[in-house]
Chains A and B, each alone.
Chain A
Amino acid sequence: MRRFLLGLPGVDKVGLEARAARLGTRSIKTTAKAAGIDLAIRMIDLTTLEGADTAGKVRSLCAKARRPDPADPACPSTAAVCVYPDMVAVAKEQLAGTGIRVASVATAFPSGRASLEVKLADTAFAVAAGADEIDMVIDRGAFLSGHFAEVFDEIAAVKAACGPAHLKVILETGELATYDNVRRASWLAMLAGADFIKTSTGKVNPAATLPVTLLMLEAVRDYTGATGRKVGMKPAGGIRTSKDALKYLVTVNETLGEGWLDPDWFRFGASSLLNDLLLQRQKLSSGRYSGPNYVTVD
């Protein structure tokens, strides 16, 4: 495992960032922009992960996920609502019959500093409460110390605890520090059984960036090519504008192709992004910009 991960091709920082910057200059207009905005809305994991979360807050978020733009019934729903494990039951009830998934951050999110028993119990609790998707954090300490097998075993154990639920593995790329580490961690997570790999918790800066996302998409492409198993990707944190979201979609389109331009295979972990997408959507249909009072606060 160690030899394999250390033997992966290196990443040239300058070249990776230049490629990401160039992908960011694609000009997306008119019909492509409208299609991209709707697609981005369908890919959002609408998220609330605060210490102050209440059932009321989660209920109102679920309502927004179902019908993001009250003025326009044609506006698509988001892919999922992402909450802490203790709020899964509330969200599940609110979203029953809508097809919108409930995702939950388990495994001692966001630090991941707890015993394996606690992490597995946390996961089992969320799944029992009805979570369709589990977002787990990896043990960055173990990874940075080079204890790759330990990280692998932990991901595999959580995957087993997930049962039918999909597992998204959060690498917390901001703490992994180098692009080489990000590529290794991506492979490690996929080999251990991750259904999705995810950049960040959103609690650490930097969170998702375009170069990191490009690099992880390349890892997904290479892993899928080598094993035939398709893995999804979720950048999370820091994506706030429609323009940014479109850059990510372009990057997916040109790295993995259209097969991944689907909420089953690509997600945005974001909450403030949705309102900007809605404003842009309204602008495209009306020809005028409205303001923050024309979209809901949550």
Chain B
Amino acid sequence: MGIFDYAPAPESRAVVDVKPSYDLFIGGEFVPATGGVFKSVNPATEEVLAEIGLASAADVDRAVAAARTAYERTWSRMPGAERGKYLFRIARIIQERARELAVLESIDNGKPIRETRDVDVPLVAAHFFHYAGWADKLEYAGHGPAPRPLGVAAQVIPWNFPLLMLAWKIAPALACGNTVVLKPAETTPLTALLFAEICREADLPAGVVNIVTGAGETGAALVAHPGVDKVAFTGSTAVGRAIARTVAGTDKKLTLELGGKAANIVFDDAPIDQAVEGVIDSIFFNQGQVCCAGSRLLVQESIQDELLDALRRRMATLRLGDPLDKNTDIGAINSAEQLARITELTAAGEAEGAERWSPACELPAQGFWFAPTVFTNVSATHRIAREEIFGPVLSVLTFRTPDEAVAKANNTPYGLSAGVWTEKGSRILSMAKRLRAGVVWANTFNKFDPASPFGGYKESGYGREGGLQGLEAYLDV
């Protein structure tokens, strides 16, 4: 024990009421699922949190029908200003119940309360506020004089940002006049079900938002349902491909937000201390389970040693442990499957000859944990430099000239995000122009805002979420 070790500072679980079991949310009511149940566990302790209804194809059918009815009878006919009022109300309730949402997100997902409380939930509210403001101004959004909604949107979201992805999907869809059927990930359904309660509290008309819980089959049934006009998916590239095949040949509109293997490029004139901080943020935020994570660090050879020393020194101060502790930087990996995948890929990295380093870091005995890890001596042919690991694992590559940096950064099947660190403004602009990525951050990383669009190039998907561009995905333009 050091002379100034921080005493544990856990957030109370008592602020949220976790029920023993949860039903589906269809037509404004909680109704039992007909496909059985599955369990949601706390990844930090492996404790079973609740039993969740498994939606069968018949349940999906009911949900789509409810959404269709709500679309035709109320929501699409309602003036935009009225829809905006509901969205504002939802946004305010999210703020009022922020603590509850943050704690529930932490125990269901494993991410630290510092992130759910300071990043996720505020952004969720911000997205609802942002799109609430657009609901009555759609004709001025640049998508034609009288844009119309599409109809029923099927939305399938991942487990890494359960609430935030829900907000990215539901807020623009509702603002444009669509109704939705949302399927949260099977490992993190709880906050979506709490959101269902918030919809009821906001008196949202029945059927405008429907939530069906389940695993891949439920999602597949939803995406393939003939009553759906629009499909929006965030998740892995493999599933994205399957969905694109399902939707091909129908008149459903589709947006995909898939994987990434972002390059974080540090030039020799970069602000070193802030660059190190940015690298930490880019790959250890949410345990690296971020599609736009900066998992490839491209560092200019002339400052390689200096930067890596600084990075290792900083990594040694990261605190891993109880996600509900306010001083925790790194929480639990979301599931045993995900942990196995990270373990498998890092083993491959070692086998291929990359040099592995982690700070001295005690992992809790229970739960799914992975120490922050950095690989050096990585070459472009290594699997860890090419495949998305989706964990707290950084691969370091080097470059000598700006051209080489661009070539290496773009040499990936993905293209979701990139980072550039330099004090030189002209270099920032020229790099941003040449990098094939949906978002290029300059001297920062992993910054999100409801007003700025987000989406990928190449295998990172198509379509944009957020901002004005995010409206287009839910309008007939």
A-side residues, CB < 8 A to B, are 9-12, 14-16, 18-19, 25-33, 35-36, 39, 215, 218, 249-250, 253-254, 258, 261
Contacts and interface: CB of A to CB of B under 8 A. Distances in A.
B118 interface: yes
B271 interface: yes
B7 A32 contact: yes
10 contacts: A10-B269, A11-B273, A15-B277, A15-B444, A18-B277, A19-B273, A27-B6, A28-B7, A33-B7, A39-B3
Given A25-B118, A27-B326, A32 B444 contact: no
Contact of B4 (A18, A27, A29, A39): A39
A16 B443 CA distance: 11
B274 A16 contact: yes
A39 B5 CA distance: 13
Interface string B324-342: 0011000000000000000
B423 interface: yes
Interface string B307-319: 0000000000100
Contacts of A36: 4
A285 B107 CA distance: 34
A30 B8 CA distance: 9
A215 B271 CA distance: 12
Contact of B6 (A12, A18, A26, A39): A26
A253 B118 contact: no
Contacts of A215: 273
A252 B333 CA distance: 30
Which of A9, A33, A36, A39 has most chain B Cβ within 10 Å? A9
B277 A19 contact: yes
Contacts of B278: 15
A198 to B, nearest CB: 20
Given A19-B277, A26-B327, A12 B443 contact: yes
A14 B6 contact: no
A249 B277 contact: no
B5 A16 contact: no
B423 A10 contact: yes
Contacts of A39: 3-4
Nearest to B277: A19
Contacts of A27: 6, 9, 326-327
Given A9-B269, A10-B271, A15-B278, 4 more contacts: A9-B270, A10-B269, A16-B274, A26-B326
Contacts of B5: 32
Contact of A35 (B4, B118, B271): B4
B114 interface: yes
A254 B314 CA distance: 8
B272 interface: yes
B2 interface: yes
Interface residues of B, number: 24
A297 B38 CA distance: 65
Interface in B1-35: 2-9
Contacts, number: 71
B139 to A, nearest CB: 36
A252 to B, nearest CB: 9
Contacts of A35: 3-4
Contacts of A9: 269-273
A16 B273 contact: yes
A28 B6 contact: yes
A30 B317 CA distance: 21
Nearest to B443: A12
Contacts of A253: 4
Contacts of B327: 26-27
A10 B327 CA distance: 29
A268 B49 CA distance: 47
Contacts of A258: 2-4
A289 B9 CA distance: 21
Q: Which 9 A-B pairs have the closest CB atoms?
A: A15-B274, A27-B9, A27-B326, A12-B271, A12-B274, A10-B423, A32-B7, A9-B272, A30-B7
A9 B422 CA distance: 10
A258 B423 CA distance: 32
Contacts of A25: 114, 118, 326
A92 to B, nearest CB: 30
Contacts of B317: 254
Contacts of B3: 35, 39, 258, 261
A16 B180 CA distance: 42
A200 B269 CA distance: 29
A254 B319 CA distance: 11
Interface in B331-367: none
